[in-house]
């Protein structure tokens, strides 16, 4: 009979099996099981989850901590029955940070060098030769300056971009111009390429709407690698039609997978990627998650420990 249990819940059983195979040798003293196979809910001390079913975590009376398989905890917070005294451990390891840096730099550079226009010209068989500004003359804004936002900002600054960041606190790394809660309009007004890396909270849901997009310089570009809930899709489509936004690169969507027939799929001014910006693999992610659980169990500091309701 299993003793101390780590329950795992993920939407795709095939992926969950791979994760569990990585966890088992890394968590000695625990029995790692799919949540569907747990027979003694009282033995569950940790839950490793991505988009868990509503009410699942409330059913574990001795739960010490929940681990999110990702940097966001909105999918946990979405459960109104979540046991509020139980902390959540985010998964933000070096590999995940590097993946996000790569994604942001790739797509900011792509927009900076006007690659969508060149690709459209290729499809037409047109030799559309034109110049673009240098990086120092391109203003990039990072909306959300948590761990991933700061890493992305510093990476972009390394290319020479004029980078600024926005967060409620207004705090950020040295060398990055920062705007606080009251400085959103000024931040957007100086941003040619906007990158959203905010956590999804009640305050940030729908923040990429007609009003916010309208504060950008006409013809600005958008990269959303945070959550689909940040974007009001109809407002973006209108901004693209009017020329207020010239191109949008979207990795996250209100409904995932993005439904067949959605206008984003075929829109000439939209680049769609399937939520892969910092998609972590079981091997590297397993080490980070297991290490965080063992540190928490030993009473050591866990850097990415948080609670539902904490701000951004």
Q: pLDDT tens, 35-84? A: 999 999 999 999 999 999 999 999 999 999 999 999 999 999 999 999 98
What count of other Cβ atoms lies within 10 Å of the Cβ of residue 151? 22
Contact (Cβ atoms closer than 8 angstroms) between residue 9 and residue 79: no
Q: pLDDT tens, 249-275? A: 999 999 999 999 999 999 999 999 999
Residues 167 and 292 in one domain: no
Residues above pLDDT 70, as percent of the chain: 98
- Whether 312 is covered by a domain: the verdict is no
> Cβ contacts of residue 293 below 8 Å, gap of 6+?
6, 27, 46, 65, 67, 89
Query: Which DSSP helix (H) or strand (E) runs through 109?
Result: helix 94-112
Residues 175 and 219 in one domain: yes
Active-site hit among 275, 287, 303, 310: 275
Beta-strand pair 270-272/5-9:
unpaired
Residues 263 and 148 in one domain: yes
- Whether 69 is covered by a domain: the verdict is yes
- Whether 311 is covered by a domain: the verdict is no
* CA separation for the pair 172, 151 (Å, rounded): 10
Q: Does the pLDDT of residue 193 top 80, yes or no?
A: yes
Q: Could you tell me the sign of the dihedral formed by the alpha carbons of 198, 202, 206, 210, in that order?
A: negative
Q: Does the pLDDT of residue 159 top 90, yes or no?
A: yes
Residues 268 and 287 in one domain: no
Q: Considering only CA atoms, which of 62, 67, 28 is closest in space to residue 47?
A: 67
Q: How many domains does the chain have?
A: 2
Question: Domain of 294?
Answer: 5-93+280-306
Q: Does the pLDDT of residue 311 top 60, yes or no?
A: no
Can 262 be counted among the known catalytic residues? Answer: no
Residues 113 and 247 in one domain: yes
Active-site hit among 107, 227, 230, 247: 227
Beta-strand pair 88-89/305-306:
antiparallel
Residues 86 and 101 in one domain: no
Can 147 be counted among the known catalytic residues? Answer: no
Average pLDDT over residues 5-14: 95
Here the CATH number for the domain that contains residue 294 is 3.40.50.720
Average pLDDT over residues 111-119: 98
């Amino acid at each position: 009979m299993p003793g101390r249990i780590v329950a795992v819940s993920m939407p795709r059983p095939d992926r969950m099996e791979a994760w569990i195979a990585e966890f088992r040798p890394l968590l000695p003293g625990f029995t790692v099981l799919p949540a569907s196979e747990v027979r003694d809910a009282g033995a569950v001390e940790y839950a490793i989850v991505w988009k868990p079913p509503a009410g699942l975590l409330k059913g574990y009376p001795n739960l010490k901590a929940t681990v999110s398989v990702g940097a966001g905890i909105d999918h946990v917070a979405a459960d109104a029955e979540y046991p509020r005294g139980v902390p959540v451990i985010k998964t933000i390891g070096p590999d995940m940070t590097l993946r996000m840096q790569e994604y942001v730099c790739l797509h900011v550079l792509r927009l900076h060098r006007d690659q969508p226009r060149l690709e459209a010209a290729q499809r037409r068989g047109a030799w559309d030769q034109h110049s673009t500004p240098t990086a120092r003359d391109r203003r990039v804004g990072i909306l959300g300056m948590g761990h991933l936002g700061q890493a992305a900002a510093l990476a972009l600054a390394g290319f020479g971009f004029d980078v600024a960041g926005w967060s409620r606190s207004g705090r950020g790394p040295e060398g990055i111009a920062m705007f606080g809660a009251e400085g959103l309009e000024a931040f957007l007004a100086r941003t040619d390429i906007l990158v959203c890396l905010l956590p999804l909270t009640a305050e940030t849901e729908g923040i990429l709407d007609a009003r916010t997009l309208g504060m950008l310089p006409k013809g600005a570009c958008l990269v959303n690698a945070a959550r689909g809930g940040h974007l009001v899709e109809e407002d973006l489509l209108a901004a693209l039609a009017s020329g207020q936004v010239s191109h949008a690169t979207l990795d996250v969507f209100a409904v995932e997978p993005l439904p067949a027939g959605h206008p984003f799929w075929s829109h000439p001014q939209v680049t769609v990627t399937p939520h892969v910006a910092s998609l972590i693999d079981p091997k590297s992610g397993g080490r980070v998650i297991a290490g965080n659980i063992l540190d928490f169990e030993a009473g050591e500091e866990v850097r990415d420990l948080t609670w539902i309701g904490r701000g951004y």
